[in-house]
Amino acid sequence: METRYIAAIEIASSKIKGAVGSVDSEGRLTVLAVEETPSYDNVRYGRVQNIREVTAAVNDIIQRLEAAPAVAPRSVCALGVSIGGRSIAGAPAKASMKFNEDCEISDQHVQRLMFDARQDLMTDQVVEVIPRAFYVNSAFVRQPVGTFGDSLRGEFLMVTCARETRQNLERIKFDSVPASAIAYILNIKAIGDFVLTPDEKVLGTAFVDVGAETTSVAVYKDGSLAFVCVIPMGSRLLTLDLIAGLGTTEEAAEKLKREIAAGGEKENETARNFMHSRAGEIIANVLNQIDIAGYPSPAISKVVLTGGGAKAPDFAEQIAAQFKMPVRKAEMPSDIAFRVAGRNNPDNIDIVALLAAAARAFNGSCLSEPVEEHRQEPKEEQPEDRTVLAAPEEEPVRRSVADEEDDDKWLRDDPDEEEEQEEDRKTTRRGFSFPWSRKRKEEPLEEDEFTVEEPEEENGKENEDEVEERPATHKLNSFRERFAKLFTPVEGLEDDDE
C-alpha cells in the first residue's frame, strides 16, 4: 500500500487550525505541517458566524499548508472538517428485526437496522450513528455479522446538531476542494478515540474537553461512545472574570491567565481565586450532565482532561475532588511522528486527532500528486519537405461513340452563327446599331453622352456648361432618328434612305 496524504481543518471558537499528514502502509501517522489563525469573533460557541471571513481564513491556511516544504508541490483536493459546538447532543435509539427462520446476519441487516433507528428519531440533523450493542435471539453479541438467528435488535447513540450549525459549515467555500470531497467529522469523538486507551473505553471513562467557549463531555462505556453533550461554558469565562474583577483589558487578562496557567504569578492570589471559582462552576455542570445521563461514579472509573481550559490552576485537582476518581491529562501518543518543529505537544492533540479520523474516513489521498514536467529536448532541424502531394487519381469516365460525335459538333463552327456575325458587321457599317449590341458592349458610352441639360438661370443667361452639353444632345437626337427608322416599314422610307 502506498503512502496516503491526509488534510484536515478544525474550526473552533478561539482559533482555526489546519494540518497535513501522511499515513504509511502500516498505518503510522506522520504530521507534515500545521498552521493556525485566531477566530475570536468569527466563530461563537463552535458555530460559524461570519462565513465570509471564515472562508478567507481556511483558504489562507490551506495555501500555507500547500507551501510547506514537506507538502509542496502537492495541492489539497479533499478535506476532513470538524463539526462541534454547543448544539451537539446524543440521543439513544433502538431498532429490531424479525425473520421467518434462522438466517445468517449480514452487513445489510445491520445497515437496515441503523436506518430504522435513525428514522424513529424524527430528525434530519444526525451527524453520526454510533452502534452501542447488538442482540441476536436476545443474546448480547459485540459483532452480529456472521451469527445466525431469527431476530436482531440493536441499540445506538444518535449524535445530532442544530440545522444552522451544519448549514453554516456547508456554506464555506474552499478554493481547491469541491463540496463532494469534504468529510464532516465529529470533533469530540475523534479526540476521544485518539487519546483514550482500549481499556479506558471498556471500563468506563469520562472524557472532558475544555475549550474557549464550550466544554464537551463524552462518556465511553463497553468499548464505544455512550453519551455526549456540550456545555456552553469555557475558559473565556475565566478571562471575563479577570476583566471584571481586576478592571483590566481583555488582552491583559488573557496574558495574565496564561501566565498563571504556566505556573507564574503565584503572588496574584486575587486572580487565582477568580479562576478557581469559575473552574469549580464548570466542573459542577460537567458532573451534573454525567449524572443525568445515568453514569454515576460506579459506572465510570476515570476522567481524562484535554483542551486549553484544562490548563487552569488546580483544575485537575478540583475535578478529581468533585468526581472522587482519578484524573489524568491527555498526552500526545508516542507513535505519532512529527516533521514540523514545535508541534509535538498536547496543544495540537485536537488537530492531530482530526487527521487520524480523516485517515479512516478517506480511502484515498487528500492531496493531488504533482505533475511531472518533462523537459523537451530541442529537435534537430530537418530540411523542409517541399513535396507536393499529388491529388488522388480519378477513375476514367467511359465515353461512348455518340459522346465523341457530340464533342466534334461543339468544336465545329455553326454556320448560322457565322451568318449572324456577318449581318451584325453589315448593320454596324450602315449605322443601325443597337445600344445592347456587341460593339456597344466593347465600347461603353462616355459618361457625358447622356448628360441632362441644366435649366437656364432666372436672369436669362445661359448656363456656363451649355456649350459642352450640345454635342451630347446632338448625339442623343441622332440616335433617336436611327431608332425610329429601324422600326419604320420599308414602304414609308424614301428612295435615298434605302
Candidates 77, 90, 104; CA nearest to 6 is 77
Q: Within a domain: residue 439? A: yes
Give the pLDDT of residue 217.
95
Q: How far is CA 89 from CA 205, 216, 217, 308, in A?
A: 18, 10, 10, 22
Q: Whole domain around residue 66: which residue ranges?
A: 4-88+161-368
Distance from C-alpha of 286 to C-alpha of 214, rounded to nearest angstrom: 11
Q: Tell me: do 190 and 289 sit in the same domain.
A: yes
Q: Tell me: do 118 and 205 sit in the same domain.
A: no
Q: Within a domain: residue 382? A: no
Q: Tell me: do 216 and 292 sit in the same domain.
A: yes
Q: Tell me: do 217 and 315 sit in the same domain.
A: yes
Q: Within a domain: residue 94? A: yes
Beta partners for 386?
A: none
Beta partners for 19?
A: 8, 34
Distance from C-alpha of 21 to C-alpha of 359, rounded to nearest angstrom: 9
Instruction: State which of 142, 159, 176 marks the end of a domain.
Output: 159
Give the pLDDT of residue 445.
46
Q: Within a domain: residue 175? A: yes
Give the pLDDT of residue 195.
95
| Under 8 Å between Cβ of 200 and 224 | no
**Residue partners of 236: CB distance under 8 A and separation at least 6:** 13, 14, 212, 213
Q: How far is CA 138 from CA 114, 133, 152, 468, in A?
A: 18, 11, 8, 128
Distance from C-alpha of 34 to C-alpha of 308, rounded to nearest angstrom: 17
Domain total for the chain?
3
Distinct helix (H) and strand (E) counts, the chain: 14, 19
Q: Tell me: do 246 and 303 sit in the same domain.
A: yes
**Residue partners of 437: CB distance under 8 A and separation at least 6:** 424, 427, 428
Distance from C-alpha of 355 to C-alpha of 81, rounded to nearest angstrom: 10
Give the pLDDT of residue 33.
95
Q: How far is CA 214 from CA 88, 209, 221, 327, in A?
A: 11, 8, 23, 20
As a whole number, the mean pLDDT across the chain is: 80
Q: Tell me: do 107 and 239 sit in the same domain.
A: no
Q: Tell me: do 202 and 318 sit in the same domain.
A: yes
CA dihedral (461, 465, 467, 469) in degrees, to 10, reads -120
Domain with 128 in it: what CATH number? 3.30.1490.110
**Residue partners of 292: CB distance under 8 A and separation at least 6:** none
Q: Within a domain: residue 118? A: yes
Query: Residue 277: what residue type?
Result: S
At CB < 8 A and 24+ separation, what contacts does 260-268 make? Answer: 260/312, 260/313, 261/311, 261/312, 261/313, 262/311
The C-alpha cell at 160 is 445530532
Supply φ then ψ for residue 109, to 5 degrees: -65, -40
Distance from C-alpha of 423 to C-alpha of 395, rounded to nearest angstrom: 46
Q: Tell me: do 266 and 348 sit in the same domain.
A: yes
Domain with 182 in it: what CATH number? 3.30.420.40
Q: Within a domain: residue 378? A: no
Helix, strand, coil abundance in the chain, percent, nearest 5: 40, 25, 35
Give the pLDDT of residue 415.
54
Q: How far is CA 490 from CA 432, 433, 479, in A?
A: 15, 18, 19
3-state SS class at 345: coil
Q: Within a domain: residue 454? A: yes
Q: Tell me: do 277 and 346 sit in the same domain.
A: yes
Q: Within a domain: residue 376? A: no
Q: Tell me: do 322 and 298 sit in the same domain.
A: yes
Instruction: State which of 144, 159, 174 marks the end of a domain.
Output: 159
Give the pLDDT of residue 243.
92
| Under 8 Å between Cβ of 14 and 40 | yes
Q: Tell me: do 128 and 39 sit in the same domain.
A: no
Q: Tell me: do 82 and 145 sit in the same domain.
A: no
Instruction: State which of 117, 132, 159 marks the end of a domain.
Output: 159
Give the pLDDT of residue 487.
60
Give the pLDDT of residue 375.
46
At CB < 8 A and 24+ separation, what contacts does 461-470 make? Answer: none
Distance from C-alpha of 85 to C-alpha of 13, rounded to nearest angstrom: 9
Q: Which residues of the chain have pLDDT under 70?
A: 1, 122-124, 264-267, 371-498
Q: Which residue has the cell 452487513?
A: 107
Helix segments in 212-344, DSSP class H: 236-246, 250-261, 269-292, 315-323
| Length of the chain in terms of residues written | 498
